Amino acid sequence: MRVPAKVNLHLGVGPRRSDGYHELANVFQAVSLYDEVTATRADELSVEVTGADGVPVDESNLAVQAARALASAAGVEPGVHLRLAKGIPVAGGMAGGSADAAAALVACDALWGTGVDRATLAALAAALGSDVPFALHGGTALGTGRGELLSAVLGRGQYHWVFALADGGLSTAAVYAELDRQRTEAMAAAPAGAPDGVLAALRAGDPIALGRVLANDLAPAAVRLRPQLRRVIGAGQELGALGTVVSGSGPTVAFLVRSAAMSISFASALAGLDVCRSIRRAHGPVAGARILPPDSP
Ligand code: C5P
């Protein structure tokens, strides 16, 4: 299975609900940074991770939780060895853990031939994490509720991105908690900002308009927890990005640029500023979790 990362084009955070989650108006775009997840039959459940440090291989791994949840819903033994080849930055706000969970669901479903219906798979995905349904969906989508209620967004065009990766991740829960600390009572009660500008820019297929309206309510909290991000975000304007946005809960910062060629020159200029650990280029939207044909690289 190959499963993409996401970037948030609009992340409007509304009131905190009684279950602790926040109401969102969240426009996701799947981008061409991928994890590859392989499921092979085994007596017991185990997981192996390549391509990144710091990913847990115990029960806290979301792919392990996905395999267990599916096995229990389908009434089968969770016999599988999962291999996660990481291409998505870890704890970077690009939903790498959610991507692995989505891919594990589909891969184990195929391996075990569970025959669970799509609605069950979608419910399992939502229970695993707010971003897991989107990793199955791919493309561009609006997520409401806590982010798990998806509707496809009609849009045109290919968008080109450069991502600045930071040293070390940020915990999503910690960033939301910091946002709660920063917000006044009135701010905390206001509904999530509507993504009208982003939706209009996507309908028009206009990257310049999209660049102007990229927005993330979590950004101030991420910057507060990681003040170095201010310089990374500042680099977007300095280097002429169409738009700059913290991806999800950060610390990855996304720069929208005009073309694939521009993403190469932008990435090298960004490297010259020495404000981030590493840099990736990608385009979107791309498809969600997919089974790779056997002859793919
Ligand atoms: O759903 P997920 O497990 O990815 O969420 C991780 C944490 O992020 C939650 O425990 C919660 O603290 C925070 N969160 C939130 N509101 C959302 C999504 C996530 O407060 N809509």
Q: Which of 6, 100, 109, 217 is catalytic?
A: 6
Q: What is the pLDDT of residues 74-106, one digit of tens each?
A: 999 999 999 999 999 998 999 999 999 999 999
pLDDT at 297: 56
140 CA distance to ligand 1 middle (Å): 20
CA of 25 to the centre of ligand 1 (A): 14
Can you tell me which atom of ligand 1 is nearest the CA of 130? 1
Dmax of the chain from CA atoms?
A: 56
| Residue 21 Cβ contacting ligand 1 at under 6 Å | yes
Indicate if 6 belongs to the active site.
yes
Q: What residue type is 189 in one-letter code?
A: A
* Predicted model pTM: 0.96
CB 192 within 8 A of CB 23: yes
Ligand 1 binding pocket includes 178 (Cβ within 6 Å): no
Q: What is the pLDDT of residue 293?
A: 75
Answer whether 182's CB lies under 8 Å from 224's CB: yes
Distance 18 CA to ligand 1 centre (A): 13
Asked if 155 and 285 touch (Cβ cutoff 8 Å), the reply is yes
Residue 294 to residues 5, 54, 84, Cα–Cα distance (Å): 22, 29, 17
Percent of the chain at pLDDT > 70 equals: 99
Nearest CA to ligand 1 atom 12: 173
Q: Rounded to an integer, what distance in angstroms lies between the CA atom of residue 162 and that of residue 253?
A: 8
Q: Which positions ≥6 away from 242 have C-beta within 8 Å?
A: 207, 208, 210, 211, 212, 256, 257, 258
Tell which phi-psi region holds residue 221, choosing left (phi > 0), alpha (psi between -120 and 50) or beta. alpha
pLDDT at 35 over 90: yes
- Residues in CB range of 158: below 8 A, 6 or more apart: 283, 284, 285
What mean pLDDT comes out for the span 212-239? 97
Burial track 156-169 (b if 16+ CB lie within 10 A, e otherwise): eeebbbbbbbbeeb
Q: What is the pLDDT of residues 55-70, one digit of tens each?
A: 999 999 999 999 999 9
C-alpha 207 to ligand 1 mean position (Å): 29
Calculate how far, in angstroms, residue 21's C-alpha sits from the geometric centre of ligand 1.
Answer: 6
pLDDT at 296 over 70: no
Q: Does pLDDT of 276 surpass 60?
A: yes
Atom 21 of ligand 1, residue of closest alpha carbon: 146
Q: Is the CB of 129 under 6 A from ligand 1?
A: yes
Do the Cβ atoms of 100 and 3 come closer than 8 Å?
yes
State the DSSP H helix or E strand holding residue 245, giving kind and residue range, or none if neither: strand 243-246
Ligand 1, closest atom to CA 97? 4
**In this predicted model, what pLDDT tens digit does every residue of 130-187 receive, in sequence order?**
999 999 999 999 999 999 999 999 999 999 999 999 988 999 999 999 999 999 999 9
Q: Of 100, 109, 131, 217, which one is the catalytic site residue? A: 131
